[in-house]
Amino acid sequence: MTTTQEIPGAGPPRTLAREHALLMAQVVLRARNVLAVTAGGRWPARELQALAGYLRAEVLRQAEDEEWLLFPARHAPPSFARLGRDHVRLRAHVEALERAAGGTGTHSLAEVATLTRDLLTQLGRHLAAEEAVLTAADVPDEIPATTSSPGTHQHGWYPLTEGPVIDLDALPPDEMTDAAVDRLQRLRGGEQVEFRSCRDTGAIWLRMDQVESGGYGFDYLQDGPGEWRVQVTRRPSARRREGRDGRLGACQNS
């Protein structure tokens, strides 16, 4: 089965079109995994979770960034209204996939496959329409990617920080702390992740002390020299504070 690491990461996207291509490639990869499992007659619980997780963390986050950065309500032309409606439909589609992944729906394998294919069609049409609308609105040919704006992150982090064990050394050194914090903020209460690195991970905890208070416990499985392994748990009682900057509140030692 295909893995996310097979998609080449040729640096951060610079334009909206390139950013869209990267997002679509990642969605297609995960959707194909869902379809391959359903075609084999098995329930794709893990594959649905991977698809829904990426859609929630990256695609819907992208939509929120674009609504905030590119489509301010007071200045958006009427043609942008369709894009807003597309975002609403995408959110509903993601919620349906999340229900299926959690086993709370009544979908059959055939219905899950159809839902997955429909998602690909819907997302592909939306991204193409978005680029067409922006061009028609006399926006410069090379629309800046939302990830190049302050307060956003590089979509290339996600494939490198999936799963329960994260090799931080696979990330550019100057992005390691930001990517690790982004991953921790995606954890649900009670979930764990293990970070591994040949560099001291202390900067991560200093950053988390600034963004969330008491939300995480961490245990050093190996405290150097030469290798650091840290298991981080998001405490079930941690309450998420919503905000445009994605900040939450600090972590404490277990």
Mean pLDDT of the chain: 75
User: Which two structure tokens, joined as six digits, stand for 209?
Assistant: 């002390």
DSSP output for 39-91: HTT---HHHHHHHHHHIIIIIHHHHHHHHHHT--TTT--GGGHHHHHHHHHHH
Q: What are the strands of the beta sheet with 165-167, ordered from one edge?
A: 165-167, 192-197, 228-234, 216-223
Beta bridge partners of 220: 230
Question: Looking at the predicted structure, is the pLDDT value of residue 211 above 70?
Answer: yes
Beta bridge partners of 157: none
Q: What does the pLDDT average to over 74-102?
A: 78
Q: What is the C-alpha separation between 115 and 35, in angstroms, rounded?
A: 10
pLDDT, position 173: 84
Rounded percentage of the chain residues whose pLDDT exceeds 70: 71
Q: What does the pLDDT average to over 19-34?
A: 88
DSSP output for 93-136: HHHHHHHHHTT-S---HHHHHHHHHHHHHHHHHHHHHHHHHHHH
Query: Quick check: bond before 225 cis, omega within 30?
Result: yes
pLDDT band for position 130 (cuts 50, 70, 90): confident
CA-based torsion, 246, 28, 46, 162: positive or negative = negative
Q: What is the C-alpha separation between 120 and 198, in angstroms, rounded?
A: 39
User: Which two structure tokens, joined as six digits, stand for 46?
Assistant: 């893990």
Q: What does the pLDDT average to over 49-64?
A: 82
CB-based contact 129:223 (threshold 8 Å): no
pLDDT, position 162: 79
pLDDT, position 68: 63
CA-based torsion, 39, 5, 13, 50: positive or negative = positive
Bigger pLDDT: 198 vs 141: 198
Q: What is the C-alpha separation between 206 and 250, in angstroms, rounded?
A: 8
Strands 216-223 and 192-197: unpaired
> What 3-state class would DSSP assign to 233?
strand
pLDDT band for position 149 (cuts 50, 70, 90): very low
Q: Among 202, 220, 228, 217, which Cα is nearest to 251's?
A: 217
Question: Looking at the predicted structure, is the pLDDT value of residue 61 above 50?
Answer: yes
pLDDT band for position 247 (cuts 50, 70, 90): very low
Q: Could you tell me the domains of the chain? A: 4-148 (1.20.120), 161-234 (3.30.110.40)
pLDDT, position 41: 92
pLDDT band for position 250 (cuts 50, 70, 90): very low
pLDDT, position 249: 37
Question: Looking at the predicted structure, is the pLDDT value of residue 45 above 80?
Answer: yes
